[in-house]
Chains A and B, each alone.
Chain A
Amino acid sequence: VTKRAAAIFLLLLAGSVAAIVLYARRGTPGRRPRRSGAVVRSRESAPLKVYPASSSPPPAEKTRVTLFFPSQEDGLLRPEARDVDKPPDAVTFTRELMAQLAAGPKDEYLAAAVPKDFSLRNAFVTGDGLVLVDFNVDPAWSRSAGSDEELTAVAAIVDTLLQNLAQTDRVKILVNGNEAETLAGHVNLLQPLPALREAVAPQNLEEP
Chain B
Amino acid sequence: LLFATTIFILFYEADETSACDVPIEHPRRNRFAPSKIEFDSSTGLEWTVRLFLALILALPAPNPTTVTLLVGGKTFNVSAAEAGALLSIPDVVTGLGGNSRPQAGASLAIEVAGHRIVAADGVATAAFDNRVVNLSHPTRSFSGTLYAPWEFFEKTIFPAAGLSAEYERSSAKIRTHAGGSAAVALEVSLVHLDQMTQVVFRGSGPVASDTSSDRDQLTVAFKSPVVAPFLDKSFDDPLVSRIHFSENSAVLSLRAPDLAVNAYTLKAPDRLVLEIVRPASPGAAAPAPAAPSAPPALRTVVIDPGHGGEETGAVGPANIVEKDVTLDIARRLAGVLSRDAAVRTVLTRNTDTLTALDERAAVANHEKAALFISIHANSSRAAGAHGSETYYLSLAASDKLSEAVAREENAPAGPAPPSPDSGPALDFILWDMAQSAHLKESAVLAEAIQNELNALLNTGNRGIKQAPFRVLVGATMPAVLVETAFISNPEEARQLTNPEFRQSVAEAIGRAVAAYLRQHPPGASENP
Contacts and interface: CB of A to CB of B under 8 A. Distances in A.
A132 B48 CA distance: 60
Scoring B26, B126, B130, B322 by chain A CB atoms within 10 A of each residue's CB, the highest score goes to B130
Contact of B384 (A73, A88, A172, A195): A73
Given A124-B118, A181-B357, A147 B131 contact: no
Interface of B: 1-2, 5, 8-9, 12-13, 16, 19-20, 26, 29, 33, 38, 41-42, 44-45, 48-49, 52, 63, 82-83, 85, 103-105, 107, 109, 118, 120, 122-123, 125-127, 130-132, 134, 137-138, 140, 204, 269, 306-307, 310-315, 322, 357, 376-385, 389, 391, 394, 396-399, 432, 461, 465-471, 473, 481, 483, 486-488
A117 interface: no
A2 B45 contact: yes
A170 to B, nearest CB: 5
A187 B467 CA distance: 7
Nearest to B379: A146
28 contacts: A2-B38, A5-B45, A6-B41, A6-B45, A50-B137, A71-B382, A91-B123, A111-B381, A122-B125, A123-B125, A124-B123, A125-B105, A125-B107, A126-B127, A127-B105, A130-B130, A133-B132, A134-B131, A143-B312, A146-B314, A147-B391, A169-B398, A174-B130, A187-B470, A191-B396, A192-B398, A194-B398, A195-B397
Contacts of A1: 16, 19, 26, 29
Given A1-B19, A51-B138, A144-B315, A188 B381 contact: no
B378 to A, nearest CB: 5
Nearest 5 pairs of A and B residues by beta carbon: A146-B379, A146-B314, A75-B382, A194-B397, A127-B107
A35 interface: no
Interface in A113-163: 113, 121-128, 130, 132-134, 143-149, 151-152
A146 B382 contact: no
* B-side interface mostly: mixed
Contacts of B432: 190-191
Contacts of A89: 120, 122-123
Given A170-B397, A190-B269, A149 B380 contact: yes
B113 to A, nearest CB: 19
Contacts of B132: 121-124, 132-134, 174, 177
A182 interface: yes
B52 A185 contact: no
Contacts of B138: 50-51
A198 B49 contact: no
A48 B397 CA distance: 44
A75 B5 CA distance: 78
A6 B44 contact: yes
A101 interface: no
Nearest to A165: B105
A30 B130 CA distance: 41
Given A50-B138, A91-B123, A148-B486, A128 B109 contact: yes
Interface string A86-120: 00111100000000000000000001110000000
Contacts of A190: 269, 432, 470
Interface in A66-97: 70-75, 88-91
Contacts of A188: 396, 468-470, 473
A99 B48 CA distance: 60
B118 A151 contact: no
A71 B63 CA distance: 58
A188 B269 CA distance: 14
Contact of B385 (A74, A187, A195): A74
B380 A179 contact: no
Contacts of A134: 131-132
A170 B396 contact: yes
Interface in A12-42: 12-13, 16, 19-20
Nearest to A194: B397
A13 B384 CA distance: 81
Contacts of A167: 104-105
Contacts of B322: 146
Given A127-B103, A144-B312, A12 B483 contact: no
B380 A126 contact: no
A49 to B, nearest CB: 9
A205 interface: no
A89 B469 CA distance: 33
Contacts of B398: 169-170, 191-192, 194
B131 A178 contact: yes
A16 B107 CA distance: 45
A79 to B, nearest CB: 16
A47 interface: yes
A64 interface: no
Contacts of A75: 380-382, 384-385
A191 B313 CA distance: 23
Contact of B382 (A20, A72, A181): A72
A152 B322 CA distance: 18
A111 B204 CA distance: 37
A164 B494 CA distance: 41
Given A124-B127, A132-B132, A2 B383 contact: no
B126 A124 contact: yes
A205 B465 CA distance: 16
B378 A148 contact: yes
A74 B306 CA distance: 23
B269 to A, nearest CB: 7
A94 to B, nearest CB: 10
Contacts of A122: 125, 132, 134
